[in-house]
Amino acid sequence: MHLPTVLSVVFAAAGVTAQLNDLAVAAGLKYFGTCGSEGNINSDTTYRNILNNKSEFGQLVPENGQKWDATEPSRGQFSYSSGDIVAGVAKTNGQLLRCHTLVWYSQLPSWVSGGSWTRTTLQSVIETHINNVMGHYKGQCYAWDVVNEAVADDGTWRPSVFLSTFNTDYFAIAFKAAKAADPNTKLYYNDYNLEYNGAKTDKALELVKIVQAAGAPIDGVGFQGHLIVGSTPSRSSLATVLKRFTALGVQVAYTELDIRHSSLPASSSALVTQANDFANVVGSCLDVAPGCVGVTIWGFTDKYSWIPQTFPGQGAALLYDSNFSKKPAWTSVSSVLAAKATNPPAVSTTLRTSTITSAPAVPTTTSKAAVTTTSAASGAQQTHWGQCGGSGWSGPTACQSPYTCQVLNPYYSQCL
């Protein structure tokens, strides 16, 4: 019996499918989601069919359609044709909608970024924009990224028309306006490179405290998770930084996760390292749940990724390749979720995975050694994370030292 068949039996008995969102929910998260590429939803049937699969992606976010340049390209002239594409898909499929983004220095129309403003006039512009955009999507969004990327990479406040006009007062202005526009949605600050727990992370913590001290509502912090293969922090390090924010009384989530290869094509060992990195990120969210509510990947297929255009020569950062085939990283993510979902009381939060597809098992270390795929008859030993027993299993039943084969359920044993 192939492994997908085995785990399909296990999950079916529990009312769970071996797909990412169903596994994430069974493991204690609110969702596993992806952004939707507005330009490809109606032109690529394969892409659309995967995006439609609620068991795989239970939450969607518009990649670009809700940003300021798309929703209010001219002052007072609002357009929702692009933003409604992904929102419509989510509504049709019964998927959660995560909305992105309201106040950001980038993708900002020139009439805002180049305007001559007083505090009074720009505050009116911000409040009008937020009220209209959030009003249009009122009741549809589980969460909104209210302020995006307000911290520079060196840990200072990022220069923008908002900072030059208000200093940091625009944080509270935006969050208060957002709460007034839709009282029932979760309000987030969202940024990248917070994962490294450095000066930028410290400044983001300061931002949360500034908003709270101003009496403005802030519900969460989004860790974008635009990471690099081989340079991703460990699972425990990531959990530590997530907990710095949950200690302030806000929830956290990974909101734009991708882990890019710095050179292409990626070698087989680099694919293993990428899989490890993805597992560590998702695992850290599990370790902090329910404070960490979910994971959103920034696109699911390498065919439609923003990275090659932004970082020439880099890419292949997602869970599906350009032909919509699942990569080892998909296996590692599904595995770390399955290990939690199939038998939560028996699995420590430090354990990693069970394997869900017929792709090779992925080790939890940063070793770049190829994964063993030989049969039990050859005397092979399974690597960490690999399946080592279960109903119909004909592969290795011994584990590489120091790991031992542990029974997770009657159908599945794993090297842990």
| Residue positions annotated with a catalytic role | 149, 256
Cα angle at 11 between 93 and 326, to 5 degrees?
Answer: 65
- H/E stretch holding 221 reads strand 220-223
Measured in degrees and rounded to the nearest 5, phi and psi for residue 75 equal: -55, 125
* Burial status of residue 228 (CB atoms within 10 A of its CB: 0-12, 13-18, 19 or more): middle
92-to-48, 97, 218 alpha-carbon distances in Å: 13, 11, 29
CA pair distance 142, 80, nearest whole angstrom: 18
Q: Which two tokens stand for residue 73?
A: 């390209």
Residues, the chain: 416
Question: Is there a contact between 381 and 363 (Cβ–Cβ < 8 Å)?
Answer: no
CA pair distance 46, 50, nearest whole angstrom: 6
Question: Is there a contact between 65 and 40 (Cβ–Cβ < 8 Å)?
Answer: no
The three-class DSSP label of residue 226 is strand
Q: Which two tokens stand for residue 23?
A: 């596994």
Closest CA to 290 of 243, 255, 325: 243
Question: Is there a contact between 199 and 154 (Cβ–Cβ < 8 Å)?
Answer: yes
Question: Is there a contact between 72 and 78 (Cβ–Cβ < 8 Å)?
Answer: yes
381-to-190, 338, 359, 396, 401 alpha-carbon distances in Å: 43, 22, 17, 6, 9
CA pair distance 317, 261, nearest whole angstrom: 6
Closest CA to 279 of 237, 329, 320: 329
Which single residue is written with the structure tokens 């192939």?
Answer: 2
Which single residue is written with the structure tokens 């009496």?
Answer: 215
Closest CA to 362 of 412, 287, 415, 410: 415
Cα angle at 41 between 39 and 47, to 5 degrees?
Answer: 120
